Amino acid sequence: MYKIKLNKQLQTIKLNNKLYLPFLIHNLPNNYNKFNINNIIKIKTTIYINSIEFTKKQIKNYIDTLNYSNINNNNIK
């Protein structure tokens, strides 16, 4: 059984206790093509990538800047 939670403030998804970070197609990380395809979810125009693909420092930096990004306006509600 799957458990999904949506953090409306940051627009992150938590699926089975795994954090997925939102990206718009033009803001994908440079090395996204090396990520495991099982760690990527696409919902409408937003691509969610499992946080295990990133270092802890990258995750913290991304979440810190997420509030100031345009992604919150373009994400699912």
For the CA atoms of 45, 51, 52, 55, the dihedral, rounded to the nearest 10 degrees, stands at: 120
The pTM of this model reads 0.78
- Residue 1 confidence (pLDDT): 66
CA distance 2 to 17: 10
Exposed/middle/buried for residue 21 (C-beta within 10 Å: 0-12, 13-18, 19+): buried
Query: Residue ranges of the chain with pLDDT lower than 70?
Result: 1, 8-10, 67-77
- Residue 77 confidence (pLDDT): 43
- Residue 76 confidence (pLDDT): 47
- Residue 73 confidence (pLDDT): 53
- Give the largest Cα separation in the chain, rounded: 34
Contact 51, 21 (CB under 8 A): yes
